[in-house]
Amino acid sequence: MDTSKVVLEVNDLGINFGGLRAVDSLDMVIHENELYGLIGPNGAGKTTVFNMLTGVYPPTDGTIKLEGQVINGKTPHEIAKLGIARTFQNIRLFKNMTVKENVLLSLGAHADYNFFTGIFKLPKFHAQELAMEDEAMRLLDVFELRDDSEKLAKNLPYGKQRELEIVRALGVHPKLLLLDEPAAGMNPQETENLMRTIDVVRKQFGISILLIEHDMKLVMGICEKITVLNYGAMLACGTPEEIQNNPHVISAYLGE
Amino acid sequence: MKKVTFKQQLLMELGVTLALYLFFQSLMSLGIINSYWRGIVITICINVVLTVSLNITSGFLGELALGHAGFMAAGAYISAVFSKSIALIPSVEFPLALLIGGLFAMFLGYLVSIPTLRLRGDYLAIITLAFGEIVRNVLLNIKLTGGAGGYSSIPKYTTFTWTFFIAAACVLLSKSLINSRQGRAIISIREDEIAAEASGINTNYYKKLAFIFSSFFAGVAGALYAHYMGFLQPAYFNLDKSIEILVMCVLGGMGNIMGSIISASILTILPEALRQIADYRMLVYAIVLIVMMLVKYAPQFEGLLNIFKPKKEEEA
């Protein structure tokens, strides 16, 4: 495991919001094609970690390296293009765009036809748009969303909206995919389907996934490695078995 | 469902444009449209350019802009100064004047877009409103263009053909912009800026792009107007004018180009058609406007208006 390529390396990451130390000296290493879990009680700083990894918040200290390249200080869209895509805890779809357009949007960040090629509909525009449409449909197939491709995103049922967000993130062509509570609000049946699909996505696209989740069954079931945060500090790190038996983790979740 | 290819779509658009042109042109040469109504058709085309271009920033980018008349004024005056001070053959001079009007407005559009990178909503509306007023007040104080007294004897180059094809170009280019990756990026900013950034969209760049595109066409519309009237006055480009364009834009539907064309046509003809009842003209205009807005959003009439909507917008 440890011999495989490192995708993300986080060293001594920390951030202050005024006087509040929201995340403190976090270390994390994610390998190629690894499914990594990030858990912790509410307010532990999990989403803040996501926001630092994606450039929404600049970290106060520490470094973030994506495939050896330091990425802190870069803007969110630069980081997305370098290969970190994400979903959001409270769904952020482009509600009044169609399902297909949602995916075309993120695919479009990689197309290189320019403004004038676009407005004058030159041949390059046609070629790239057709290729993008093809790819969008193939991505939608992963979550069986092809039949809904012409619907407006806001008209999808809740579970499918969550899935569409993952498809859109895949359109960024990520090396690392960050999923922020993908199973929130889903029933057990939907959660189980999602678990399977996440695993399929990882294998099919060969990407690493970092997952925030409260559903312990989901996390313990599919993650290979887990980091536990509490009050912004790293509480434990290891395989699901190690985490389940760690006395610090048990006391943080259940009390002494 | 059979898919329409890009080529077929392009040919269809150009075909419809040409057919419409020949239709109006033949009505004019047959004398069915007299010179009074020809003027109204030209005004409609200018208003279509203004409305569609405003729709790019207000409808698709989602930023309420209240300074569109300012861009129009800048384009009008700069092109008028150009064609009055340069003596070339009209068929060269006029397109150059239009281009200069557009480019100058575009430059101002770029300047205005800079604060939009930090401001949204009400604050942006105030900034653009202030911009419009600044342009008008600057024009009031420039001696070269006659200040408040107005700038006269501008060569009247604007013809129906020029105006029609520029309006068509504005509509078709806006449509293809919206269906390109750049257009989707602009719409995604309206929908959710944070998600757009996370999807690899440089939101600052696309905001600027939308403002530049929109102000370019506003400038061209101003240049058309200047060479149609032959006379310019700063008072014409006041806040009322910006609001008038915005009303056309809102009535036609934010983010609906076809709607912009229809509402720009209706709201240009309406005041003219109401001239017979001179005293009550503006009253009736206001009432008609309110009724149209109500009808537009009433569920009972939805089927009636759905024919103008693209298929995909229908509820699932």
Q: For residue A229, give the CATH number of its domain.
A: 3.40.50.300
Q: What is the pLDDT of residue B43?
A: 96
Q: Out of A54, A97, A115, name the one closest to residue B191 (CB).
A: A97
CA atoms of B313 and B187, how far apart (whole Å)? 15
Q: Out of A118, A132, A172, name the one closest to residue B199 (CB).
A: A172
CA atoms of A46 and A40, how far apart (whole Å)? 7
Average pLDDT over chain A reads 91
Q: What is the pTM of this model?
A: 0.90
Q: What is the pLDDT of residue A101?
A: 95
B313 confidence band (pLDDT: 50, 70, 90): very low
Does any CB of chain A come closer than 8 Å to the CB of residue B181?
yes
**Does residue A166 lie within any of the structural domains?**
no
pLDDT at B271 over 90: no
Rounded to an integer, the average pLDDT of B142-157 is 90
**Does residue A124 lie within any of the structural domains?**
yes
Please tell me whether residues A71 and A133 are part of one structural domain.
no
Q: What is the pLDDT of residue B211?
A: 94
Q: Select the more confidently predicted residue: B277 or A45.
A: A45
Does any CB of chain B come closer than 8 Å to the CB of residue A116?
no
Rounded to an integer, the average pLDDT of B149-159 is 92
pLDDT at B190 over 60: yes
B236 confidence band (pLDDT: 50, 70, 90): very high
Does any CB of chain B come closer than 8 Å to the CB of residue A151?
yes
* Interior/surface letters B148-159, b for 16+ CB within 10 angstroms, e for the rest: eeebeebbebbe
pLDDT digits (tens, 9 = 90+) for B201-213: 999 999 999 999 9
Chain A CB contacts of B254 below 8 Å: none
pLDDT digits (tens, 9 = 90+) for B69-79: 999 999 999 99
Does any CB of chain A come closer than 8 Å to the CB of residue B182?
yes
B305 confidence band (pLDDT: 50, 70, 90): low
CA atoms of B192 and B259, how far apart (whole Å)? 24
Dihedrals phi, psi of B72, to nearest 5 degrees: -60, -45
pLDDT at B88 over 60: yes
Instruction: Report the phi/psi class of residue A255: left, alpha or beta, with left for phi > 0 and alpha for psi in -120 to 50.
Output: left
Residue of A nearest to B191 (CA): A94
CB contact under 8 A, B195 and A88: yes
Among A105, A122, A157, give the residue marking a domain's end. A157
Rounded to an integer, the average pLDDT of A73-80 is 94
CB contact under 8 A, B200 and A113: no
State how far the alpha carbon of A155 is from the alpha carbons of A51, A94, A151, A191, B41, in Å: 28, 11, 7, 21, 40
Residue ranges making up the domain that contains B100: 34-238
CA atoms of B205 and B186, how far apart (whole Å)? 10
pLDDT at A2 over 80: no
CB contact under 8 A, A80 and B197: yes
Q: What is the pLDDT of residue B315?
A: 39
Does any CB of chain B come closer than 8 Å to the CB of residue A154?
no
Let me know the angle formed at the C-alpha of B69 by B68 and B75, rounded to the nearest 5 degrees: 100
**Does residue B274 lie within any of the structural domains?**
no
Please tell me whether residues A242 and A185 are part of one structural domain.
yes
**Does residue B101 lie within any of the structural domains?**
yes
Residue type (1 letter), A143 = F
Candidates B181, B190, B315: best to mutate against A (most CBs of A within 10 A) is B181
B302 confidence band (pLDDT: 50, 70, 90): low
Please tell me whether residues A101 and A149 are part of one structural domain.
yes
Does any CB of chain B come closer than 8 Å to the CB of residue A167?
no
Q: What is the pLDDT of residue B303?
A: 57
Does any CB of chain B come closer than 8 Å to the CB of residue A88?
yes
Residue of A nearest to B312 (CA): A150
Does any CB of chain A come closer than 8 Å to the CB of residue B34?
no
Please tell me whether residues A72 and A179 are part of one structural domain.
yes
**Does residue A71 lie within any of the structural domains?**
yes
Q: Please measure the distance between the N-terminal and C-terminal CA atoms of chain A and give it in whole angstroms.
A: 34
Q: What is the pLDDT of residue B276?
A: 80
Candidates B10, B199, B204, B206: best to mutate against A (most CBs of A within 10 A) is B199
Q: Give how many domains chain B has, as a whole number.
A: 1
Please tell me whether residues A71 and A104 are part of one structural domain.
no
Does any CB of chain B come closer than 8 Å to the CB of residue A57?
no
Residue ranges making up the domain that contains A127: 95-157
Residue from A54, A52, A47 nearest A85 by CA: A54
Q: What is the pLDDT of residue B2?
A: 46
Q: Out of B176, B184, B197, name the one closest to residue A76 (CB).
A: B197
Q: Out of B182, B188, B312, name the one closest to residue A118 (CB).
A: B182
Question: The domain spanning residue B222 has which CATH number?
Answer: 1.10.3470.10
pLDDT digits (tens, 9 = 90+) for A197-230: 898 899 999 999 999 988 777 888 889 999 999 9
Residue of A nearest to B177 (CA): A119
**Does residue B292 lie within any of the structural domains?**
no
Exposure on the CB side of residue A28, measured as CA atoms within 13 A: 32
Q: What is the 3-state secondary structure (H, E, C) of B247-279?
A: HHHHHHCCCCHHHHHHHHHHHHHHHHHHHHHHH
A-B contacts (CB, under 8 Å): 117
Please tell me whether residues A153 and A179 are part of one structural domain.
no
pLDDT at B277 over 90: no
Q: What is the pLDDT of residue A252?
A: 82
ipTM summary value = 0.91
Q: Give how many domains chain A has, as a whole number.
A: 2
**Does residue A165 lie within any of the structural domains?**
no
pLDDT at A3 over 80: no
pLDDT digits (tens, 9 = 90+) for B21-65: 999 999 998 888 888 999 999 999 999 999 999 999 999 999 888
Rounded to an integer, the average pLDDT of B239-258 is 91
Rounded to an integer, the average pLDDT of B245-267 is 91
pLDDT digits (tens, 9 = 90+) for A134-189: 999 999 999 899 999 999 999 999 889 999 999 999 999 999 999 999 988 888 88
Does any CB of chain A come closer than 8 Å to the CB of residue B173?
yes
- Lowest average pLDDT, out of A10-24, A212-226, B229-243, goes to A212-226
State how far the alpha carbon of A169 is from the alpha carbons of A84, A147, A201, B163, B240, in Å: 9, 19, 12, 44, 44
For chain B, percent of residues with pLDDT exceeding 90: 65
Q: What is the pLDDT of residue A1?
A: 47
pLDDT at B307 over 60: no
Indicate the helix (H) or strand (E) that contains A230.
Answer: strand A225-230
pLDDT digits (tens, 9 = 90+) for A96-134: 999 999 999 999 988 889 999 888 888 889 899 999 999
Q: Please measure the distance between the N-terminal and C-terminal CA atoms of chain B and give it in whole angstroms.
A: 17
Does any CB of chain B come closer than 8 Å to the CB of residue A74?
no
CB contact under 8 A, B195 and A85: no
Residue B240 Cα, gap to closest chain A Cα (Å)? 31
Q: Select the more confidently predicted residue: B86 or A94.
A: A94
Does any CB of chain A come closer than 8 Å to the CB of residue B185?
yes
